[in-house]
A and B are shown apart, each in its own frame.
Chain A
C-alpha cells in the first residue's frame, strides 16, 4: 500500500488546501495520473500520483487545509505489476506526493510516465481557449471541462455564466461520494488581487530566506552568440511557423549540457549539505501576466531535442499563465534559468531559489563591437551570469560552468 500525501510544492510551503479529487475510491490510477488539485499560494496545482494501483480511501475532503506530508489517500498496488510505488524525491528536501510504505525507496524521474498535458482538460487545449482567468478558475473549482463548452461571450469566449450553467450537467455523471467543492468550501475564495498578494508573500519569504541563508557569489561572462543567432535564423527560415525555435530554448539546453560538466551546481541543499541530483530538471522562470513568477521544471532537459524542448516549453508557458501546472513541475527543478533580456536588461544577478544551489541568468542579445582575429566586427552578444551557493561550490567551479556554457553555445547544431 502507498500513501498519497500533501506534496511540498515550494521551498516555504507548509500546508495546502485540497480543492478537488479528480479520482474516486475504486478508480484505477497509473503513476503520473493527476488525482487531485491543491491550492497553494502559487495557485491551484494539479497533483500527480507516483504509484500505480487502485485508489482505496480518501482521508481529506475538498476545502480542508492540511500540512505538507499529511496523508490524503491510500493506494493499493495493482495486480498488473506496473510501476511500484516509489519515493521520487523524499531524500532531496522536497516531498514527493506519494510515499511508499511497503517497498524500498527508489529515486527516479517522477514525471516520466505522465500523460501528455494536451490529453486532459484544463491544460493546453483549455489554455488556448478564449476565457478569462476567473472563468478558468471557476471551471476548475466546479469540475467543468471547458473544452466541451461553446462560449457565449465575445468571439466565442467562455464566460463564468457558461461554466455555472454547465456545472450541474457535467458534474452529474461523476461519483458523488465526495461532493464537488463549493467556492466557500474551497476556503480562500480569493480574487486575483488576493492571489497576487499571496504569491508576492511566498516569493518574499523564499527570497528573504535565500538571502539570509545562502552565501551567494556571482559571476558573469559575455558570450559571442553570432553562430547561435545565425544558425537559429537559418533553422527558422526553413521551418514551418509552428516548428520555429526561440533562442531561449537554446539557452535552456546549453545550461543543461554545461551542468553535466559541473554537476555540483545541479544539487539541492538538505539543510546541512548539498545532495547532487543525477537528473537535470531545469526550472524556467516564467513571468505571469497578473504579476508574480513561477519556475516550473522541464524534466530531463539535457536529454531533450531542441524540438521537444521547444514544444514542452511552449506548453509550460501556456499552462503556467493559465494556472494549470503540475505538482512535479513545481517540486522538481534542480536549477533555475531566468532571462530578462526581452525587457532590455544587460545582465541578471538572480537570487537562488532554495533548496537549489545555483541560478543562471541571460541578458539581452545585442549587437556589439567584438574583436575577432584582431579585427573589430559587429557580433551578437549575450551576458550570461551565475548565482551560486558558496557553501557548495567555489568561484573556480562556477567559472568552469560559465566557460562550458560559452563553448556549448558556439556549436548550436550539436544542441
Chain B
C-alpha cells in the first residue's frame, strides 16, 4: 500500500462513520473530532474499521495519535508495510 492508497482508505472509513461530512474540506492538521464531530463511539468504530480493513491493532493508549488526519496517516504508515 502506498501513501495515496492509505489516505484513500482512511477517508473512506471516515466517510462511513460520518456520511454527512464533506471530507474534501478536512484540514489534515486539525482535530478530526472538531471538524467532523466524532465521539468516542465513532473513534472506536474507526479503530475497528482500521483493524478489519488494514489489519492493524491500535492500542487505546495510542488513540491520541489519531486525533488529526495527518496523525492517522503518520501512525498507520509506521504500523503497516508501505510501498513507494
Contacts and interface: CB of A to CB of B under 8 A. Distances in A.
Interface of A: 128, 130-133, 155, 233, 236-237, 240-242, 244, 246-248, 287, 289-290, 313-314, 317-318, 342
Given A155-B15, A237-B59, A242 B48 contact: yes
Interface residues of B, number: 20
B20 interface: yes
Contact of B20 (A130, A133, A247): A133
B60 A233 contact: yes
Main secondary structure of the interface of B (DSSP, over half): helix
Contacts, number: 47
Contact of A236 (B12, B15, B19, B60): B60
B45 to A, nearest CB: 8
B9 to A, nearest CB: 9
Contacts of B45: 314, 318
Contacts of B41: 246, 248, 313-314, 317
A131 B48 contact: no
B49 to A, nearest CB: 9
B60 to A, nearest CB: 5
Contact of A237 (B20, B37, B39, B60): B60
Given A133-B19, A241-B51, A289-B20, 6 more contacts: A155-B15, A240-B57, A244-B44, A244-B60, A289-B37, A317-B41
Give the one of B19, B48, B59 with max A CB within 10 A: B19
Interface in B13-56: 15-16, 18-20, 37, 39-41, 44-45, 47-48, 51
Interface of B: 12, 15-16, 18-20, 37, 39-41, 44-45, 47-48, 51, 57-61
Main secondary structure of the interface of A (DSSP, over half): helix
Given A289-B37, A342-B40, A128 B60 contact: no
A365 B59 CA distance: 20
A318 B41 CA distance: 9
A289 B48 contact: no
Nearest to B16: A130
Contacts of B20: 133, 289-290
Given A155-B12, A236-B60, A241-B57, A130 B39 contact: no
A241 B48 contact: yes
Would you list the 4 A-B pairs with minimal beta carbon distance, nearest first?
A155-B12, A241-B51, A236-B60, A342-B39
Contact of A289 (B16, B18, B40, B59): B18
Contacts of B16: 128, 130
Contacts of A233: 60-61
A206 to B, nearest CB: 23
25 contacts: A128-B16, A130-B12, A131-B19, A132-B19, A133-B20, A155-B12, A155-B15, A233-B61, A237-B59, A237-B61, A241-B47, A241-B48, A241-B51, A242-B51, A244-B44, A244-B60, A246-B40, A246-B41, A247-B40, A248-B40, A289-B37, A313-B41, A317-B41, A318-B45, A342-B40
